A = this chain, B = another copy of it.
């Protein structure tokens, strides 16, 4: 493999990995190399542009830590997250649709009792959330482990607050014997994804805005069912049609009902949303 040029390099790289001990890794990397090379040829990528790409990834890497995930953000704004989510989550009609995971999940959020206020001081109008977890056959799913996370009134998740190590508007619940869950939190609001880094620069360069419509994140796991990672969106948000990460599905829109203050209760909202899970092994092919 001497005197490789722009035409022969792709075959040279593929030839070098012929002895891979992992057929699947070899398959994935062969596809990646072919498409990466085809991209560079097609756009006639210059050396300066290549170096700009190296600088972009370097900056993204330097920003990324346990509170900031610039690479997931990049995948999200390029539509890769939506593509991978969609092609791996084909479900029968009637199941709750999946959408993107996003960069703000934290493993090990505190488990709370049904009805708990998970805001833990996060800013925003109170909001009661409740619903039921069912299987596609209508069976109630008890003991489903439900992770919920959301941003506050300022559009920030707990881990985005400077120096903040306080867990806010984020918790884990378990559905009851009837499949029901309920908690109090705060009203979700639309927000801009972090745009003070390379992904923000990229969006500006492309004439794109960084806004996402208001939503709650849910991750639901129950024995015998496929894991569901999804959002529930506020149905009157101005950014539903232009979500910066392409995550909106009409089946995930819900009404947040406003309740005026009374003698015994402050002004608040409520949201009811049921989740329908797909049994393991029942997935439709995309």
Contacts and interface: CB of A to CB of B under 8 A. Distances in A.
Interface string A27-40: 11101111111111
Interface stretch (A49-57, A124-132, A138-146, A151-159): A49-57
Contacts of A205: 20-22, 25
Contacts of A256: none
A88 B16 contact: no
Given A31-B39, A61-B71, A6 B286 contact: yes
Given A37-B80, A38-B35, A64-B61, A207 B19 contact: yes
Interface residues of A, number: 77
Contact of A71 (B20, B41, B57, B86): B57
- A contacts with B: majority SS: helix
Interface string A68-88: 010110010011111111111
Interface string A2-36: 11111001101100111111100111110111111
A258 interface: no
Contact of A21 (B6, B34, B207): B207
Contacts of A40: 80, 83-84, 87
Given A37-B83, A39-B32, A42-B31, A9 B54 contact: no
A165 interface: no
B22 A88 contact: no
B50 A84 contact: yes
Contacts of A75: 50, 54
A212 B264 CA distance: 75
A50 B84 CA distance: 7
Nearest to A249: B3
Given A17-B208, A26-B206, A71-B57, A6 B248 contact: no
A227 to B, nearest CB: 9
Given A1-B248, A21-B207, A28-B43, 12 more contacts: A3-B248, A3-B249, A6-B86, A9-B86, A20-B206, A25-B205, A28-B45, A44-B87, A45-B84, A57-B61, A58-B61, A62-B64
